[in-house]
Copies of this chain bind each other. A is one copy, B any other.
Amino acid sequence: MNSMKSIKLSMLAGLAVTCLLLSVLSQRNTVDAQEHGAKSRPAAVFEGQDTMLRPEGYREWVFVGSSTGLSYLPNAPADGESKREDIKHVYIDPFAYREFSRTGKFPEGTVMILEVARAATKNEPGLQGSFAGEYIALEASVKDSKRFPGGWAYFSFTERGGKSVAKAKPFPEGACLSCHQKKAATDHVFTQFYPVLNAARPK
């Protein structure tokens, strides 16, 4: 009887260790490449101070919204001019999503992904509309006040010409941060365009 009890207790301890481990892993959202083991990759991995490795697994993160041809341009193309109608899919890492759902705030370590696809159509009888086809670009934003003076930094993992790159330095501050600061509804994030985050926000 006693040894059964001790085994049950130890199994409980085993469970507790598993849970603790999972919760610790989920809270370490950004990490340096050299400390990063192969198994459970955190949302953002850095080499040195600010070189971000190409994100992985983000298509299993939480999708927050899609858009067509959405951008802020100082000079809007005139009517009749051809506009680029790329489709954008935006994701947030699951830990940040849970925190945002609980508090309405983006925690340190938040990673958001912008994946761009070409709008595609198919010539088929009776088929209307367009859909997200071939992927053409991948960008990321990361909230990490210890690494980035502006709090957030922005990265592109696609070269001019469309080639994917394995790592990226942040854009200079003027390129993205200032517009995100001025126009985004919630802490540099364009929640005004993300119905999933608006629905998840605590009321």
* Assembled-state Cα–Cα distance A107/B196 (Å): 27
Judge if A73 is at the interface, Cβ distance under 8 Å: yes
Cβ contact of A66, chosen from B66, B72, B126, cutoff 8 A: B66
The residue on B at minimum CB distance from A94 is B60
A193 at the interface (CB under 8 A from B): yes
Q: Which residues of B contact A89 (CB under 8 A)?
A: 63, 66
Q: Which of B7, B85, B129, B134 contacts A10 (CB 8 A)?
A: B7
Chain B residue at smallest Cβ distance from A77: B128
Of the candidates B59, B73, B127, the one whose C-beta lies within 8 Å of that of A62 is B59
Chain B nearest CB from A80 CB (Å) reads: 14
Q: Give the most central of A66, A85, A97: most B CB within 10 Å.
A: A66
Interface of chain A: mostly helix, strand, loop or mixed: mixed
Within 8 A of B (CB), among A106-151: 117, 119, 122, 124, 126-135
A13 at the interface (CB under 8 A from B): yes
Q: A66-B87, A89-B66, A195-B133 are in contact. Are A73 and B128 (CB under 8 A)?
A: yes
Name 16 interchain pairs, CB-CB below 8 A, sorted by A.
A6-B6, A11-B11, A11-B14, A13-B14, A18-B18, A59-B200, A63-B63, A66-B87, A66-B131, A68-B68, A70-B129, A70-B130, A71-B128, A71-B129, A72-B126, A132-B195
Residues of A with Cβ closer than 8 Å to B? 6-7, 10-15, 17-18, 59-60, 62-63, 65-74, 76-77, 83, 85, 87, 89, 91, 94, 97, 117, 119, 122, 124, 126-135, 183, 192-193, 195-196, 199-200
